[in-house]
Amino acid sequence: MSQATLIQTDRFVLSDSERTAIEHEMHHYEDPRAASIEALKIVQKHRGWVPDGAIPAIGEILGIPASDVEGVATFYSQIFRQPVGRHIIRVCDSMVCYIGGHESVLQAIQKELGIGLGQTTADDRFTLLPVCCLGNCDKAPALMIDDDTYGNVEPGSVAQLLEAYP
């Protein structure tokens, strides 16, 4: 395809720890392809997102076309193909959280951060995303910040909650 892509691809090198982790995962499956999602997650864990060059690099390790890796990367909602903030806010938008008032919590977050769903703050601190039911339906509305889950969230407590994530 375009030369620009080739140059970018050539510059991208998986780190030793990324490569080791991906190769370790491959052995859990009958077919190396099965590690593609995990490989994308490994790169994302190290870099925060999956840069273009990682796609062919993962394909090469797993022995599958880059287009297949990209197909997977763009299908799954937790794989980020563009840079995201240091912290990911995932607001549960299930009907239970809807009844529990999640839309006003979402509005409070949007107002506090000045971003909409799918956007990242200018200081690269937060990215705001919706998420399927987090399974905390007795404590609706619920949300996750990185790996932490919070329940009974109120619009008025959003600002204080976000402070813990510099």
Burial of 133: CB neighbours in 10 Å, binned 0-12, 13-18, 19+:
middle
Q: Is 84 in the site for other proteins (CB under 8 A)?
A: no
Site track for other proteins across 6-25, x = CB under 8 A:
--------------------
How far is Cα 4 from Cα 143, in angstroms, rounded to an integer? Answer: 40
Please tell me the count of residues contacting other proteins according to CB under 8 A. 51
- Per the rule left: phi > 0, alpha: psi between -120 and 50, beta: everything else, 61 is alpha
In the bound state with other proteins, the residue whose beta carbon lies nearer, of 8 and 145, is: 145
How far is Cα 53 from Cα 165, in angstroms, rounded to an integer? Answer: 29
Minimum distance, C-beta of residue 1 to other proteins, in the bound complex (Å):
21
Structure tokens of 73? 């990367």
Subset of 100-159 contacting other proteins (CB under 8 A)? 130-140, 142, 144, 147-153, 157
Residues near other proteins (CB under 8 A): 28-31, 33-38, 40-41, 62, 64, 68, 71-72, 75-79, 90, 93-96, 98-99, 130-140, 142, 144, 147-153, 157, 161
